């Protein structure tokens, strides 16, 4: 693909990022539970629930689990879906940038924001 097409594709792809604040990396779990109170229907196999939890895994097998109320279930589902959508878009942009790098396209390289590039500066930093 030509560099100008790649740059256009990158811009279009980045526009699909949307609101990146509405994301959550995790898995929504549904659980049926027993309260263990004697005489409760759950002790006869009619479990309570479903109750919802979101689990998030970190490195080295660490996980965190948070209870999710029924009211917030929809929000959590949307956040998780958004996370994967944003992640896919980032992967696409990354692929385009890798290709630009391979083609040696300088136009595709922007200096990190927050740093003022000296006018006319050359070379790499
Ligand atoms: Zn019970």
Q: 12-36 pLDDT, tens per residue? A: 999 999 889 999 999 999 999 999 8
What CA–CA distance (Å, rounded) separates 72 from 47?
22
CA 32–ligand 1 middle distance (angstroms): 10
CA 31–ligand 1 middle distance (angstroms): 14
CA 50–ligand 1 middle distance (angstroms): 12
Contact of 11 with 36, CB cutoff 8 Å = no
72-125 pLDDT tens trace: 999 999 999 999 999 999 999 999 999 999 998 876 566 666 555 555 445 545
In a domain, 49, yes or no: yes
In a domain, 13, yes or no: yes
Structural domains of the chain, count: 1
In a domain, 123, yes or no: no
Nearest one of 38, 69, 65, 39 to 54, comparing CA atoms: 65
In a domain, 125, yes or no: no
In a domain, 47, yes or no: yes
3-state DSSP call for residue 28? strand
Determine the Cα angle at 41 with ends 39 and 46, to 5°: 150
Q: Which domain holds residue 17?
A: 3-108
CA 37–ligand 1 middle distance (angstroms): 6
In a domain, 26, yes or no: yes
In a domain, 98, yes or no: yes
Share of the chain above pLDDT 70, in %: 85
Phi-psi region of 56 (alpha: psi -120 to 50; beta: other; left: phi over 0): beta
By the CB criterion, residues less than 5 angstroms from ion ligand 1 are 35, 40, 42
CA 49–ligand 1 middle distance (angstroms): 10
Omega prior to 44 cis, within 30 of 0: no
Nearest one of 28, 23, 19 to 56, comparing CA atoms: 28
pTM: 0.74
Tokens of 78: 């949307």
In a domain, 22, yes or no: yes
CA 62–ligand 1 middle distance (angstroms): 30
């Amino acid at each position: 693909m030509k560099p100008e097409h790649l740059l256009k594709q990158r811009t279009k792809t980045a526009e699909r990022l949307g609101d990146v604040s509405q994301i959550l990396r995790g898995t929504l779990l549904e659980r049926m539970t027993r309260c263990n109170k004697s005489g409760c229907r759950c002790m006869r196999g009619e479990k309570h629930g479903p109750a919802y939890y979101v689990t998030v895994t970190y490195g080295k097998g660490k996980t965190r689990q948070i209870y999710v109320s029924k009211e917030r279930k929809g929000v959590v589902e949307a956040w998780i879906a958004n996370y994967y959508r944003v992640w896919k878009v980032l992967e696409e942009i990354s692929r385009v940038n890798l290709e630009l790098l391979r083609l040696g396209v300088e136009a595709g390289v922007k200096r990190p924001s927050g740093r003022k590039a000296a006018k006319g500066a050359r070379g790499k930093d």
